[in-house]
Amino acid sequence: MKPLLETRKLTRNFGGLRAVDQIDFSLMPGEIHALIGPNGAGKSTFVNLVCGRIAPSSGAIFFDGKDITTLPAHKRVRLGIAYTFQITSVYAQLSVFDNVALAVQRTLADGRGEGHIGTGVMEVLERVGLTNHASVAAGQLAYGHQRLLEVAMGLALKPRLIILDEPTQGLSDGEIDNFNTLMAEIAASATVLLIEHNMDVVMQLAHRITVLEAGKMLAQGSPEEIRANEAVQRAYLGTGI
């Protein structure tokens, strides 16, 4: 099986700072892959490179075997890459329903969806547990529910790869349990790249884990391998991995 996503020597410099340093990375179809590391490790910069929000200083990015290194972000979305941001990017004045409807309309325009918009919206809201909030203005939702709305907007794009940046931040324990169930369901039809600080979530969900530190890949492996890795233990001393 060939990787769905692959980076080769991916590097990004900001002046004298090398935020991402020659990262070789692969993501297999149907995988839930967690990307972890301390603040400033380069996680968000790495996924911004993958999504096309910033350009690499050097290296290459491949999606389904196609070189997308210079492809603009909106064209990567059309290929099936969806990214939810660490800071919520919902339209605060629009209802929950309308936020998701915008994403559903995009799949219809790109030829990746079919059927009635309203049906598609409610199906996605049901998956994330926001059906009862459909008519509420997105800006009035609790922070955790705004994060779930972002996930819903990503799912509405019918992605082949969905990248989730701190999706459980602000969720209650019960909502996190529901989120874990949802991720397992999503992995049946899409590939998931997860940036997450909640190690319980990471260890429960991830098939593989990549650890970044100071822009470099510190370790990669199964949850069991990462938990036993001495270098990771040193980098995360006291964090409970």
CATH number at residue 8: 3.40.50.300
- Beta pairing partners, 34: 194, 209
Specify whether 72 is located in the same domain as 191.
yes
Q: What is the pLDDT of residue 143?
A: 86
| Closest CA relative to residue 152, chosen from 173, 138, 172 | 138
| Closest CA relative to residue 18, chosen from 34, 40, 37 | 40
pLDDT tens for 99-112 read: 999 888 877 766 66
- Number of structural domains, the chain? 2
Distance CA(105)–CA(161), nearest Å, equals 19
**Of 158, 187, 218, the domain-final residue:** 158
Specify whether 1 is located in the same domain as 73.
yes
Higher local confidence (pLDDT), 207 or 113: 207
Specify whether 154 is located in the same domain as 53.
no
Specify whether 2 is located in the same domain as 74.
yes
Tokens of 191: 């590939």
With a pLDDT cut of 70, the percent of the chain lying above it is 93
241 is a domain residue: yes
Whether the Cβ atoms of residue 77 and residue 27 lie closer than 8 Å to each other: no
Specify whether 145 is located in the same domain as 185.
no
Distance CA(120)–CA(215), nearest Å, equals 39
pLDDT tens for 1-25 read: 899 999 999 999 999 999 999 999 9
85 is a domain residue: no
Higher local confidence (pLDDT), 96 or 157: 96
Range of the domain at 118: 90-158
**Of 158, 180, 212, the domain-final residue:** 158
Specify whether 131 is located in the same domain as 241.
no
Query: pLDDT confidence of 170, banded at 50, 70, 90?
Result: confident
**Of 143, 158, 173, the domain-final residue:** 158
Q: What is the pLDDT of residue 112?
A: 61
Q: What is the pLDDT of residue 116?
A: 80
pLDDT tens for 136-166 read: 999 999 988 988 898 899 898 889 999 998 8
Whether the Cβ atoms of residue 96 and residue 136 lie closer than 8 Å to each other: yes
Specify whether 234 is located in the same domain as 116.
no
Query: pLDDT confidence of 239, banded at 50, 70, 90?
Result: low
Q: What is the pLDDT of residue 72?
A: 94
pLDDT tens for 206-237 read: 999 999 999 999 999 999 999 999 989 887 75
Specify whether 52 is located in the same domain as 153.
no
Specify whether 116 is located in the same domain as 213.
no
Distance CA(178)–CA(7), nearest Å, equals 32
Q: What is the pLDDT of residue 157?
A: 87
